[in-house]
Amino acid sequence: MAISSIMFVCLGNICRSPLAEGVFRHEVESRGFGDRFVIESAGTGGWHVGNGPDMRAINTALDHDIDISQQTCRQLNRADFQAFDLFLCMDDDNIADCKAIAGRDYDDKIMLFAEYGGLGKVEIADPYYGGHDGFEAAYQMIKAASAGVIARIAS
Ligand code: 4NP
């Protein structure tokens, strides 16, 4: 089945997954097929629902000419697993939490983002409790993994 909708997943949906949503959208648009995918992000936790992304994520994206300031945090829910084709998770905890929220076997839709994007079985570390370097490191992994995902599903 062709993949046409992608959900990026992290814990809080204010750092890594909003960055992934914005970067992936930018990467597909720059390749000329932005209208081919529905792209969203959500958190497995609900602490920040309704908020914009963390300022450090917004500024890291802006450093690379990507504006994620208008994205709004939302929590992943069970219905998402019917609606979306692919769930790209930042770390192994996100995968376990996705499977718990899904409530039935959607394992074939739930993937580790970096691994699915060809970077190997690595997590995109949570930068929330660190400084700018962690956000830039997350951005670089997200950009590389996005290119791998696009090559895998859109070529
Ligand atoms: P994220 O980072 O999962 O990349 O959005 C976090 C943001 C907030 C929290 C944890 C991780 N928090 O505990 O509030």
- Report the chain's mean pLDDT, rounded to a whole number: 97
Residue 14 Cα: closest atom of ligand 1: 5
State yes or no: is 63 an active-site residue: no
What is the spatial distance between Cα 144 and Cα 137, in angstroms, rounded to a whole number?
11
Residue 53: predicted pLDDT: 98
Q: Residue 50 above 80 pLDDT?
A: yes
Task: List, for residues 64-99, the tens digit of each pLDDT value.
Answer: 999 999 999 999 999 999 999 999 999 999 999 999
* Catalytic residue (choose from 80, 91, 97, 126): 126
| pTM of structure | 0.98
Are 43 and 85 in contact by the 8 Å Cβ rule? The answer is no
Mean pLDDT calculated for residue range 25-29? 97
Residue 16 Cα: closest atom of ligand 1: 4
Residue from 10, 17, 56 to probe ligand 1 pocket by mutation (most atoms less than 8 Å from CB) = 10
State yes or no: is 126 an active-site residue: yes
Q: Residue 1 above 90 pLDDT?
A: no
Task: List, for residues 100-137, the tens digit of each pLDDT value.
Answer: 999 989 999 999 999 999 999 999 999 999 999 999 99
State yes or no: is 15 an active-site residue: no
Q: Residue 155 above 90 pLDDT?
A: no
What is the spatial distance between Cα 1 and Cα 137, in angstroms, rounded to a whole number?
33
Residue from 15, 93, 129 to probe ligand 1 pocket by mutation (most atoms less than 8 Å from CB) = 15
Mean pLDDT calculated for residue range 25-39? 95
Are 126 and 90 in contact by the 8 Å Cβ rule? The answer is yes
